């Protein structure tokens, strides 16, 4: 009888695993794509670029298609006995991740210097898929161990991506990234062990975990929460775990930097949303911690960006400041806050894709990302200069661009929370956020200033851009203007997500 029962339990388990796997077809597609890239690289010795590019783009496109098919599911799904949680929050982020990575590969196609690294061998593409797969599991995970493993997959792939390309500066940046990441990972794992010891559960969405936290004294619970937060802030690139960003952004090729600036950052925010849903503000002052982090990230990132002479380092510090603005949605700790965060995240992905594409084109022509190299170049490439002005205005958060809507929504959410709670920390976040938006204007417009208002000391004219490059640039920048007037296209998407508040 026991044998029959055990066999019945086993068959039930296998059936549940099979059902769960069907909902992971987008991730299975990415794994198959990764394997195909490696096999293609091993089989063919020459002229591999077209095949590798085709496999990469088809795999990403098919994964987006499969994720989109899951959008109309009626309920939230617990997969593998609650290890993974598939809902609209996870689906929309996974689609965004695949779109950003596809954009990064498009930038790689246009990269003169680094194109061979991406499409003459499979190493970089497979590592980029590793970042994507790890990030996809991050936003679905509700189990502390699986969250940690997903973050490690992203981290290890990122370390390799930084250091794998040739150059001493890249090796140094990769080593710094690895050392700092290992420390952050160890701290986070230690904090997670405390949380498990307090609650007896690894599932952050379970009643056992939530009720267990409510019975713990504030001091040990705060220590555990801060330790756990360290690893998440590392992937977010937010203060005080931001030290690695400038060197990595400067050393890595632009397509890789575009990936780093969006995918791990938004995946970390997905984890923070799930943690925020499980934490009771009356038990632990979660909004206060996030508020301090947001304020510090915005301020440190913006003031550091003011003094940069290299565009990539400027965008690195900009990403630290943008992490602070994104955290404002977590600070609000409301459905409106999470919705505005997701809207901001989608717009941020579009803005960064457009910005790094234009920087790649400029680097192709000048061979440099120093501001000095672009003096007076706006008169030689006026159309490209205009596109640059639009994307920089959007990153600042000014009309008539979608960046303005993103900042408006996220600041409105935190102000709404302030009106309900009357907690002065929310008003402080709002005021400092607005001040930092003004500060950001000075460095975001630095590139257009050099292009149009500085005289050109070089007598070597720039070569003309191909029509296809200008058309693609237009297609990437136009949504930033269009979504200013029709932001409801994205707003309706995020409004359909049930955050369970």
User: What digits encode the pLDDT tens for the residues 483-495?
Assistant: 888 888 888 888 8
Q: Do the domain assignments include residue 19?
A: no
Same domain, yes or no: 243 and 382 = no
* SS3 readout for 329-343: HHHHCCHHHHHHHHH
Among 137, 154, 103, 128, CA closest to 28: 137
Q: Do the domain assignments include residue 245?
A: yes
pLDDT value for 4: 44
Look at the chain and report how many structural domains it folds into: 2
Specify the range with the lowest mean pLDDT, choosing from 23-37, 178-192, 324-338, 365-379.
365-379
Same domain, yes or no: 369 and 456 = yes
Domain boundary among 219, 251, 279: 279
Same domain, yes or no: 198 and 331 = no
Q: Do the domain assignments include residue 8?
A: no
Same domain, yes or no: 325 and 406 = yes
pLDDT value for 2: 46
Same domain, yes or no: 146 and 260 = yes
pLDDT value for 112: 65
Span between the terminal Cα atoms of the chain, in Å: 45
Same domain, yes or no: 141 and 97 = yes
Specify the range with the lowest mean pLDDT, choosing from 6-20, 165-179, 252-266, 391-405.
6-20
Q: Do the domain assignments include residue 103?
A: yes
Q: Do the domain assignments include residue 98?
A: yes
Q: Give the SS3 label for residue 368.
A: coil
pLDDT value for 218: 81
Tens-digit pLDDT profile for residues 231-244: 889 888 888 888 88
Same domain, yes or no: 318 and 169 = no
> For 54-199, where are the E strands, in sequence order?
77-79, 84-86
Domain boundary among 250, 279, 308: 279
- 113: confidence class by pLDDT, cuts 50, 70, 90: low
- Decide which of 417 and 11 is more confident: 417
pLDDT value for 5: 45
pLDDT value for 428: 92
Q: Do the domain assignments include residue 396?
A: yes
Specify the range with the lowest mean pLDDT, choosing from 74-78, 241-245, 273-277, 466-470.
74-78
pLDDT value for 147: 92
pLDDT value for 369: 80
Domain containing residue 315: 285-501
Domain boundary among 255, 279, 303: 279
Residue 475: other Cβ atoms inside 10 A: 11
Q: What is the mean pLDDT of the chain?
A: 85
Same domain, yes or no: 266 and 296 = no
Same domain, yes or no: 180 and 314 = no
Rounded Cα distance between 355 and 376, Å, is: 19
Same domain, yes or no: 400 and 500 = yes
pLDDT at 388 over 80: yes
Specify the range with the lowest mean pLDDT, choosing from 283-287, 296-300, 348-352, 381-385.
283-287
Strand partners, 77: 86
pLDDT value for 80: 80
Q: Do the domain assignments include residue 151?
A: yes
Same domain, yes or no: 494 and 466 = yes
pLDDT at 284 over 70: no
Q: Give the SS3 label for residue 441.
A: helix
Among 334, 204, 223, 330, CA closest to 278: 204
- 462: confidence class by pLDDT, cuts 50, 70, 90: low
Same domain, yes or no: 106 and 231 = yes
Q: Do the domain assignments include residue 7?
A: no
pLDDT value for 205: 80
């Amino acid at each position: 009888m026991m044998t029959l029962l055990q066999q019945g339990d086993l068959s039930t388990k296998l059936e549940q695993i099979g059902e769960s796997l069907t909902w992971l077809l987008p991730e299975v597609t990415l794994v198959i794509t990764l394997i195909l890239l490696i096999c293609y690289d091993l089989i063919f010795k020459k002229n591999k670029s077209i095949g590798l590019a085709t496999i990469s783009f088809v795999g990403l496109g098919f994964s987006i298609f499969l994720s989109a098919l899951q959008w109309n599911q009626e309920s939230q799904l617990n997969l593998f006995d609650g290890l993974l949680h598939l809902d609209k929050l996870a689906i929309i982020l996974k689609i965004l991740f695949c779109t950003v990575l596809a954009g990064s590969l498009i930038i790689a196609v246009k990269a003169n210097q680094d194109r061979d690294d991406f499409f003459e061998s499979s190493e970089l593409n497979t590592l980029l898929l590793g970042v994507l797969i790890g990030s996809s599991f991050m936003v679905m995970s509700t189990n502390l161990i699986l969250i940690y493993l997903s973050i490690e997959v992203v981290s290890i792939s990122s370390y390799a991506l930084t250091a794998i390309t040739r150059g001493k500066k890249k090796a140094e940046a990769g080593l710094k990234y690895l050392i700092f990441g290992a420390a952050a990972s160890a701290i986070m794992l230690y904090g997670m062990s405390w949380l498990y010891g307090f609650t007896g559960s690894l599932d952050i969405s379970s009643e056992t975990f939530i009720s267990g936290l409510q019975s713990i004294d504030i001091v040990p619970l705060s220590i555990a929460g801060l330790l756990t937060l360290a690893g998440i802030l590392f992937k977010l690139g937010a203060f005080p775990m931001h030290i690695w960003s400038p060197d990595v952004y400067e050393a890595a090729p632009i397509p890789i930097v575009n990936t780093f600036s969006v995918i791990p950052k938004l995946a970390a925010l997905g984890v923070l949303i799930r943690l925020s849903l499980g934490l009771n503000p009356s038990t632990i002052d979660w909004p206060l911690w996030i508020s301090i982090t947001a304020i510090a990230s915005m301020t440190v990132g913006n003031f550091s960006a003011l003094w940069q002479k290299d565009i990539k380092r400027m965008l690195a510090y900009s990403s630290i400041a943008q992490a602070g603005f994104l955290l404002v949605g977590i600070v609000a700790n409301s459905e409106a806050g999470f919705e505005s965060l997701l809207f901001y995240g989608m717009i941020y992905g579009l803005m960064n894709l457009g910005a790094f594409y234009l920087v790649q084109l400029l680097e192709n022509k000048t061979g440099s990302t120093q501001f000095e190299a672009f003096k007076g170049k706006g008169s030689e490439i006026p159309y490209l200069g205009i596109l640059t002005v639009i994307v920089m205005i959007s990153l600042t958060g000014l009309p008539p661009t979608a960046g303005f809507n993103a900042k408006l929504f996220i600041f409105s959410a935190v102000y709404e929370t302030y009106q309900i709670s009357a907690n002065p920390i929310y008003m402080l976040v709002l005021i400092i956020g607005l001040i930092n938006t003004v500060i950001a204007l000075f460095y975001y417009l630095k590139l257009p200033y050099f292009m149009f208002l500085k005289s050109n000391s070089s007598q070597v004219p720039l070569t003309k851009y191909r029509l296809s490059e200008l058309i693609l640039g237009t297609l990437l920048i136009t949504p930033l203007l269009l979504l200013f007037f029709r932001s409801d296209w994205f707003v309706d998407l995020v409004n359909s997500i049930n955050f369970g508040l």
